[in-house]
Amino acid sequence: MSAPTPGTENASVAPTPAARASAAPDAPVHPVVRALAGLSKRLVVLIPAAMALGLVTGLLIDLSALKALVLPMTMLMVYPMLVNFRPREALDLADSKAVGLAMALDFIALPAIAWLLAVAFFRDEPGLYVGMVLAGLFPTSGMTISWTGFAKGNVGAAVKMTVIGLIAASLLAPAYLLLLAGAVVPVDIAEVLRTVLFVVGIPMIAGTLTRVGLVRRLGQQRYRQRVAPVFPGLSTVGVLAIVFIAIGLKAPMIVGEPALLLRILVPLTAFYALNFLLATLLGRWLLDRGDAIAVVYGTVMRNLSIALGIAIASFGAEAALVLAAAYIVQVQSAAWYVKATDRVFGPAAEAPTAAEAA
């Protein structure tokens, strides 16, 4: 038998779909994909717009029938957010000092601050009380990573904070709610566990299967460039829908008590101000610039999507109203803090040029 011609040994092996996709030239990004990918950057405008639309619609139409859609809509909101979620990324022990500080703030200091504010402002209003408590229970979201990158912080540390924070919060939330809110509002542990399973567990499994399937079909590079950016936008659409429902269900109450949103915004503003202050001071004292920025955004950027879903599914629209308002404070303050980062921590070091590196 003659030897095969060099370079033809594997000629009969068909390339995998992922290999064919990776080798294919990139096509222009579809306008719908581009629009979805940019939605999460416009939350500063979109959240107030959704609240205003919900208020007007809730005054004109009875939206109580939408309550039955809250849980499935929440799952659809969280699912895209978890498609790019990779628990494996938390196993690397690098950045442990920054991650440890962020987790201490996220699971000790900030829940305590949220609880104290709930006691001070909403002791006699159970729905608002539990909403304030929930604002302090679910740390980090995909925006933690984005804002850390915008501010030129340690993105790797932000990824670990996001992964560890979500897993830990999902496991601890029922116990925290019972401890911090059980004296004011009935907390059904079994119901909260069920809600966490539906809101976090099932979307996480579905998201992982989606990512694995798409990567196999398209290849890693094409998936990251052309598909992955779509999912945060889809999650943003879900957030806007839930905010619309939360405000719409309580529209008569909001109009009947015009100062209600202001009363909610005062403790929320105090919560975020204390969060920024505490994370900034500890970061400057204990960490270098990049790690400190990751700690700030790893604590300030609460996972309001999951907290909102649990609030409206298990505790009602009043609790959800607090978290809908929290979006306004969180997004606005995060944007302002990026602009102030260089004044707070000093400018980022410039990467060496090729000539300097040589």
What band does 176 get if pLDDT is binned at 50, 70 and 90? very high
Average pLDDT rounded to a whole number, residues 38-49: 75
pTM attached to this predicted model: 0.76
Domain ranges of the chain: 42-341
Q: Which CATH code is given to the segment(s) 42-341?
A: 1.20.1530.20
pLDDT (mean) for 330-356:
76
pLDDT-based confidence at 276, cuts 50/70/90?
Answer: very high
If pLDDT is split at 50, 70 and 90, which confidence band does 355 have? very low
Mean pLDDT (the chain, rounded): 82
What are 84's two structure tokens?
């790019």
- pLDDT class of 177 with cuts at 50, 70, 90: very high
